Amino acid sequence: MEDDSRDMFKYKLGKWILSIDECAFTNLMDLGKNKSMRQYLIESIDSWVNKKEPLITDEFISEMCDFIKSENEVLYDRLMKKCAIEGISVGEGIFKSLSLLNCGITSVLQCSQVKDDLSDV
């Protein structure tokens, strides 16, 4: 029964990774031949979380989050949940929201066209 659970976990993880990035899926499946997927997942997250690359942007994003939380805690919680559901970082979520604000009611495609037009200036 435990092997079935491991196989299902590997299948679901593989399917999820494949939906995001085919190259990452291929690499993951190659690694999975030599190591438990569960163990690889834990090691990968541990490595990424403990990576010592302090970025100025991380500090600034933290400042923005602190500001949003102090101004409107309900909005802050909704931002965190939406980013988690979409599988994006909080910085990306804030950037998306600012892009919508800048574009107003126009679509993202129209925004891209305006940016392309401005690049000729």
Summarize pLDDT for 87-108 with one digit per residue, the tens: 988 888 888 887 776 555 444 4
Q: Where are the domains of the chain?
A: 2-49, 56-118
Summarize pLDDT for 23-41 with one digit per residue, the tens: 777 777 777 666 777 787 7
Closest of 108, 78, 100 to residue 90, by C-alpha: 78
* CA–CA distance, 82 with 72 (Å, rounded to integer): 15
Q: Is 93 exposed, middle or buried (0-12, 13-18, 19+ CB in 10 A)?
A: middle
Structure letter (DSSP) for residue 106: S
* CA–CA distance, 71 with 101 (Å, rounded to integer): 18
Q: How many CA atoms lie within 13 A of 45 on its CB side?
A: 5
Rg from Cα positions in the chain: 20
Q: Is residue 69 scored above 60 in pLDDT?
A: yes
What pLDDT, on a 0 to 100 scale, did the predictor assign at position 105? 46
